[in-house]
């Protein structure tokens, strides 16, 4: 019984940590990083949130305000023009909350199929030993 528990918990950890994120391709959302206009994804499983420059390199969050300081761009429109001129772009990679039940169904089918396979193996093993 202990071996079953250890096997189940180990398999659950592997599926949760390594396999689950590959069930369905995640959504990638890109937007201009304007102050006060943060894009949120309520209930989403967020894999990454980064700001990129025009060359596609990840930049630290503090580089945008230092490149386009709000003090030299007093209006939102001027700040927006500066950010767009430098090519800054935020990119979020996530699984939307609307996919929760789909992921639950995939995992239920995976573990249900594994349970049926183990049950078939047990029947075969017992019949073979009794014969």
What does the domain layout of the chain look like in residue ranges?
Answer: 25-113
Supply the pTM of this predicted model: 0.74
> pLDDT per residue over 3-31, tens digit each?
888 988 999 999 988 999 899 999 999 88
Cβ contact 90:33 at 8 Å? yes
**Both tokens assigned to 53:** 């420059």
**Both tokens assigned to 98:** 């609307």
Q: Which region, left, alpha or beta, applies to residue 54 given φ > 0 means left and ψ of -120 to 50 means alpha?
A: alpha
**Both tokens assigned to 20:** 């689950």
pLDDT at position 109, please?
96
Alpha helices in the chain (DSSP H): 2-14, 63-67, 76-85, 100-130
- Phi first, then psi: give them for residue 74, nearest 5 degrees: -65, -25
> pLDDT per residue over 56-113, tens digit each?
889 887 677 788 887 787 787 888 888 888 888 889 999 999 999 999 999 999 999 9
Using the 8-state DSSP alphabet, how is residue 40 labeled? -
């Amino acid at each position: 019984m202990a071996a079953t528990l250890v096997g189940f918990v180990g398999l659950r950890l592997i599926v949760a940590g390594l396999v689950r994120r590959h069930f369905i391709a995640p959504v990638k959302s890109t937007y201009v990083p304007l102050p006060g206009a943060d894009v949120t994804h309520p209930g989403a499983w967020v894999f990454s949130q980064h700001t990129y420059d025009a060359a596609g390199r990840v930049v630290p969050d503090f580089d945008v305000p230092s490149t386009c300081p709000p003090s030299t761009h007093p209006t939102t429109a001027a700040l927006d023009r500066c950010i767009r001129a430098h090519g800054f772009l935020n990119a979020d990679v996530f699984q939307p909350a609307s996919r929760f039940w789909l992921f639950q169904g995939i995992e239920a089918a995976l573990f249900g199929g594994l349970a049926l396979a183990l049950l078939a193996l047990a029947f075969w093993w017992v019949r073979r030993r009794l014969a």
